[in-house]
């Protein structure tokens, strides 16, 4: 694996991909505006990467960052449904215009392949389960629209300019280094940090809402496989998930068991723009580029909670 650019490298997913790339011997460049990412996430690898504190919306910066790059892993985004509901215009810049800038810079620089963090939010609340790639999208939140529109730009850049692009639709990714501190943070990161601190978590809805919670190792593996494969992936969309559905109440119970939390959980009304159920059919990625679930939900929770405990100790 030659030279790779990771956008959003100081984020939870970007920093995990950067680590894996380094382990494979790649030369890694990373760009991040530190808006939602944190330098702490790349502290341990900063000396091994060409880190640029820049914004993907700065065309000169992203153009320069793509020079001499073989693969772009485009993870930079404001990855929050409620944040996009609150600020559709402000999130459209990083989430959609930023993607266009990355594609344009990659095309001009002659990048081999662009891997894109797409979102399962694109499926909306179509009751069909599991969600498969041939389904008609039905985005609900501005975030889902932005991420889906990005996919269309990718497909367009493949068709029109011949740039190889692959959209990986992530389903609720969790793991070490995910930021638990904002009201927009992923539910597992919030549950874990709250329960470890002895605070009462909140479930929005009645607890039956379900998600295909996917441990970060699966996402990293999917990215590397999709980058390296010689199968015809250009211009296509693939689910990246586990194919298993866990309800919020089950997730709460499991985090409670592992953390030893003894309290209760609050129930609050469902959030605007939320979808009720989400679970993926992952056979397309399995069949096309050999994707496998390398770490299941239970293992992922154990790892994440162990990491959070240590991070708290050293905080
Ligand atoms: C998540 C991702 C999004 C991704 C999408 C793909 C995050 C922050 N968002 O959105 O980037 O594209 O999956 O499927 O990772 N909830 C609670 N209590 C809380 C927080 C949330 O009950 O304290 C509920 C929410 O209302 C929702 C569910 O948990 O019903 C999941 O929420 P969240 O983790 O924010 O993820 P998604 O909205 O599914």
What is the whole-number distance in angstroms between the Cα of residue 275 and the centre of ligand 1? 9
Let me know whether 131 and 19 are in one domain.
yes
**Based on the domain organization, do 128 and 205 belong to the same domain?**
no
CA–centroid distance, 278 to ligand 1, in Å, is: 11
> Once rounded to an integer, what is the mean pLDDT over residues 26-39?
97
* Distance of CA 262 from the midpoint of ligand 1 (Å): 24
Helix 12-23 and helix 216-228, axial crossing angle in degrees, nearest 10 = 60
Cα–Cα distance between 86 and 271 in angstroms, integer?
12
Same domain, 76 and 119: yes
Q: Which DSSP category does 131 fall into?
A: B
Q: Which of 80, 71, 30 is nearest to 52 (CA)?
A: 30
Domain check: are 165 and 63 in the same one?
A: yes
Band of pLDDT at residue 313, cut at 50, 70 and 90: low
For the chain, the average pLDDT equals 96
- The closest-lying atom of ligand 1 relative to the alpha carbon of residue 190 is 23
Let me know whether 122 and 196 are in one domain: no
Instruction: Identify the pLDDT of residue 312.
Output: 73
Structural domains in the chain (count): 2
The DSSP symbol for 122 reads G
State whether 143 and 266 are in the same domain. Answer: no
Task: Report the number of secondary-structure helices (H) and strands (E) in the chain.
Answer: 11, 13
Q: Whose CA is nearest to atom 21 of ligand 1?
A: 187
Whether 100 and 122 have beta carbons less than 8 Å apart is answered as no
pLDDT digits (tens, 9 = 90+) for 101-159: 999 999 999 999 999 999 999 999 889 999 999 999 999 999 999 999 999 999 999 99
Q: Which atom of ligand 1 is nearest to the CA of 79?
A: 11
Atom of ligand 1 nearest to the CA of 204: 22
Q: Encoding tokens for residue 154?
A: 């990718």
Average the pLDDT over 201-205 and give the result.
97
| pLDDT at position 216 | 98
* The predicted structure's pLDDT at residue 272: 84
CA-CA distance, 252 to 163, in Å (whole number)? 43
Pocket probe mutation, ligand 1, options 187, 188, 213, 244, max atoms within 8 Å of Cβ: 187
Question: Is the pLDDT assigned to residue 184 strictly greater than 90?
Answer: no
**pLDDT bucket at 315, cuts 50 / 70 / 90:** low
Give the CATH number, domain containing residue 43. Answer: 3.40.50.720
Under a CB-based contact definition with an 8 Å cutoff, are residues 69 and 48 in contact? Answer: no
**Phi, psi at 236, each rounded to 5°:** -105, 170
pTM of the complete model: 0.96
- Report the percentage of the chain scoring pLDDT > 90: 94
Query: Both 79 and 89 in a single domain?
Result: yes
Asked whether residue 195 is domain-assigned, the answer is yes
State mean pLDDT over 10-20: 98
Assigned domain for 77 exists? yes
pLDDT higher than threshold 90 for residue 229 = yes
- Give the model's pLDDT for residue 1: 61
- 115 and 198 in a single domain? The answer is no
Residue 211's DSSP bridge partners are: 246
- Active-site residue numbers? 143
Contacts of 152 (CB under 8 A, 6+ apart): none
Burial 187-214 (b: 16+ CB within 10 A, else e): bbbbbbbbbbeeeebebbbebebbbbbb
Q: Which residues pair with 174 in a beta bridge?
A: 215
Domain region containing 143:
3-175+213-243+279-296
Q: What is the C-alpha to C-alpha distance for residues 315 and 298, in angstroms, rounded to an integer?
A: 25
Looking at the domain assignment, is residue 182 inside a domain?
no
Return d(Cα 178, Cα 215) in angstroms, integer.
Answer: 11
Q: Tell me: the pLDDT tens digits for 60-111? A: 999 999 999 999 999 999 999 999 999 999 999 999 999 999 999 999 999 9
Q: Are residues 58 and 113 in the same domain?
A: yes
Does 181 reside within a domain? no
What sign for the dihedral angle of Cα 289, 294, 296, 301? Answer: negative
Any residues with Cβ below 6 Å from ligand 1, and which?
A: 79-81, 119-121, 170-172, 184-187, 190, 201-205, 209, 211, 248, 271, 274, 278
pLDDT of residue 314: 56
CATH number of the domain at 270, please. Answer: 3.90.25.10
Same structural domain, 79 and 170: yes
* Same structural domain, 283 and 139: yes
Give the model confidence (pLDDT) of 49-73 as tens digits. 999 999 999 999 999 999 999 999 9
Q: How confident is the model at residue 311 (pLDDT cuts 50, 70, 90)?
A: confident
Domain-located, residue 180: no
Same domain, 154 and 230: yes
129 in a structural domain: yes
Question: Mind giving me the DSSP string for 20-45?
Answer: HHHHTT-EEEEE--SSS--GGGGTTT
Question: How crowded is residue 170: how many other Cβ atoms within 10 Å of its Cβ?
Answer: 26
Q: Which phi and psi (to 5°) does residue 294 adopt?
A: -95, -15
């Amino acid at each position: 694996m030659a030279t790779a650019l990771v956008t959003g490298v100081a984020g939870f997913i970007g920093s995990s991909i950067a680590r894996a790339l380094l382990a494979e011997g790649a030369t890694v460049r990373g760009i991040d505006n530190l808006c939602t990412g944190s330098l702490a996430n790349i502290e341990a690898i900063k000396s091994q990467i060409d880190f640029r504190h820049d914004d993907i919306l700065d065309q000169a910066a992203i153009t320069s960052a793509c020079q001499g790059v073989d693969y772009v892993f485009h993870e930079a985004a404001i990855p929050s449904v409620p944040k996009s509901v609150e600020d559709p215009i402000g999130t459209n810049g990083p989430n959609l215009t930023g993607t266009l800038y990355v594609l344009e810079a990659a095309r001009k620089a002659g990048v081999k392949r662009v891997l894109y963090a797409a979102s399962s939010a694109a499926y909306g609340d179509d009751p069909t389960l599991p969600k498969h790639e041939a389904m008609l999208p039905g985005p609900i939140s501005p975030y889902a629209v932005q991420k889906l529109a990005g996919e269309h730009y990718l497909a367009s850049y493949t068709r029109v300019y011949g740039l190889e692009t692959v959209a990986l639709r992530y389903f609720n990714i969790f793991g070490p280094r995910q930021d638990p501190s904002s009201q927009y943070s992923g539910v597992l990161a919030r549950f874990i940090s709250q329960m470890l601190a002895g605070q009462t978590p909140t479930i929005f809805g009645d607890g039956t809402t379900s998600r295909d919670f996917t441990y970060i190792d699966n996402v990293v593996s999917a990215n590397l496989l999709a980058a390296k494969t010689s199968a015809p992936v250009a211009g296509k969309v693939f689910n990246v998930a586990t194919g298993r559905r866990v309800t919020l109440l089950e997730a709460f119970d499991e985090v409670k068991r592992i953390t030893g939390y003894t309290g209760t959980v609050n129930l609050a009304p469902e959030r605007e723009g939320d979808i009720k159920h989400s679970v993926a059919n992952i056979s397309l990625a399995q069949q096309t580029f050999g994707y496998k679930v390398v770490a299941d939900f239970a293992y992922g929770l154990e790892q994440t909670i162990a990491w959070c405990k240590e991070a708290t100790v050293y905080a």
